[in-house]
Amino acid sequence: MNPHTKALEAAYQLHFYLCFKTHYLQPLLAPSSTQSLLSAVLQEVCDREQYHLLEFEITDDHLRLLLSLQPTQTVANTAKMVKGNLDHEFSVAYAGERIRKLFARGYFARSSGKVDLVAARQYVDKQVPHHGYKGEWTKPLKYRNPAFRSPAFPLAHGYCLLNYHVVIATQDRTPIFDEVIAPGLFNCCVAIGEKHSFAIERMGLLPDHLHLIVEAKSDVAIEDCVRGVMENTRQWMEQQFSGVLKETGAWDVWRPSYYTGTIGEYTTAQVRKFLALG
C-alpha cells in the first residue's frame, strides 16, 4: 500500500435505511416491553459501534432504521452487529418461551442522501460545462458505463442497493488530466471497480478532480473503494503518462483526502419523514 493513501481524510455523509423482518413475520415485536428492550439495546449497540441512529421504527413484525455510518464501516457488518445483538438480548429475555430466533434471514438496505440519485447523476453530467469547458473536445471527459446494471451485487437472502457519489482531487489541485488521458483513465477505473467489488455507473473528469457515481457491495467500505482508485490510477499514470507527472511534479497524483456521500431513490429527508409518520 502506498503510504500516501494509507490514512485518508474524508468529508462524508453516509446514510442508510435498513429493514429487518421477524422470523416468519410473527408479531414478536408487538409487546411494549419488547419494543422498550429493543430500543435500549439498539441505542447501546449504536453508541458502542459508533453508528449514528438518525431514526427508527418498530412495528409488530418489522424493525426499520436510518443510520449514519463512517467511510470505514460496511453495511453488511452493521446489519450483522445490530441483528446479532438484538437476537441475543431477545433470546435471553424470553428464554422460557421457546422462541428460537427473533429475525428472519437477510435484510433490506438502501442508501439515501441529501439529494436523490437522479439529481446526483445530473450534477456529475454537468460538471464539465459548469467549470467553463465547452466544445467537441470535452466529450471524452464524461463517461457512462454501458455495461452497468443495477443492482450490480444481488443478495441471496435480501435486497441491498448502495450508491455513492465520490469526488477525489489531484495533488495540490494540480491540473493533470485532459481529453487525451480521460478515456484510458475511465477504463482503468472500471477495471479497478471490478477487482474491488464496486461498479462504476458514470464519471466526470476535470483537470484537477474526478467525480464518480458508484454502486458497492454491502461488505465493502467506501473508503476501500476510494483507496483502490487512488492507488491503481497512480500506478497507471506512472506507466502511461510519466511525462505529465514529471512536468507537473504531481507524482502522488491524488491528494490524500476525498468527499463521499450516499445517494438513492429517496432522500434522507423523505426516509426520515416516512419513519416518523409510521
Total count of domains within the chain: 2
Q: Which three-class secondary structure state does DSSP give residue 266? A: coil
Q: What are phi and psi for residue 148, nearest 5 degrees?
A: -70, 130
Tens-digit pLDDT profile for residues 26-79:
999 999 999 999 999 999 999 999 999 999 999 999 999 999 999 999 999 999
CA angle 179, 250, 186 (to 5 degrees): 35
The gap from C-alpha 200 to its chain's centroid, in whole angstroms, comes to: 12
Tens-digit pLDDT profile for residues 205-218:
999 999 999 999 99
Cell 441475543 -> residue: 88
Q: Which three-class secondary structure state does DSSP give residue 127? A: helix
d(CA 48, CA 42): 10
Q: In this structure, is residue 7 part of a structural domain?
A: no
Domain boundary among the residues 83, 111, 139 is at 111
- Asked whether 179 and 265 are in contact (CB, 8 A), the reply is no
> Does residue 123 sit in the same domain as residue 194?
yes
> Does residue 123 sit in the same domain as residue 241?
yes
> Does residue 243 sit in the same domain as residue 124?
yes
| Strand 62-69 with 9-21, pairing | antiparallel
Domain boundary among the residues 61, 87, 111 is at 111
246 by Cβ neighbours in 10 Å (0-12 / 13-18 / 19+) ranks as exposed
Contacting residues for 163 by C-beta, under 8 A, at least 6 apart: 111, 117, 120, 201, 213, 214, 215, 262, 263, 264
Q: In this structure, is residue 275 part of a structural domain?
A: no
DSSP of 115-174: S-HHHHHHHHHTHHHHTT--SGGGGGGEEE-TT--SSSS-BTTBEEE-EEEEEEEEGGG-
> Does residue 169 sit in the same domain as residue 125?
yes
> Does residue 50 sit in the same domain as residue 127?
no
> Does residue 128 sit in the same domain as residue 236?
yes
pLDDT for 5 equals 77
Q: In this structure, is residue 1 part of a structural domain?
A: no
Tens-digit pLDDT profile for residues 116-161:
999 999 999 999 999 999 999 999 999 999 999 999 999 988 999 9
Amino acid at 69: L
d(CA 29, CA 22): 8
pTM greater than 0.85: yes
CA-only gyration radius of the chain, Å: 22
Q: In this structure, is residue 193 part of a structural domain?
A: yes
> Does residue 214 sit in the same domain as residue 242?
yes
pLDDT bracket for residue 99 (50, 70, 90): low
Domain boundary among the residues 67, 88, 111 is at 111
Q: In this structure, is residue 198 part of a structural domain?
A: yes
Q: In this structure, is residue 45 part of a structural domain?
A: yes
Q: In this structure, is residue 251 part of a structural domain?
A: yes
> Does residue 250 sit in the same domain as residue 216?
yes
Closest by Cα among 80, 76, 77, 82 to 56: 82
> Does residue 127 sit in the same domain as residue 238?
yes
- Residue 132's domain spans which residues? 113-268
- Asked whether 199 and 215 are in contact (CB, 8 A), the reply is yes
> Does residue 47 sit in the same domain as residue 146?
no
Q: Write out the three cell numbers for 231.
A: 492507488
> Does residue 76 sit in the same domain as residue 134?
no
Q: In this structure, is residue 219 part of a structural domain?
A: yes
What CATH number has the domain bearing residue 64? Answer: 3.30.70.1290
CA angle 147, 208, 146 (to 5 degrees): 10
pLDDT for 6 equals 78
pLDDT for 277 equals 81
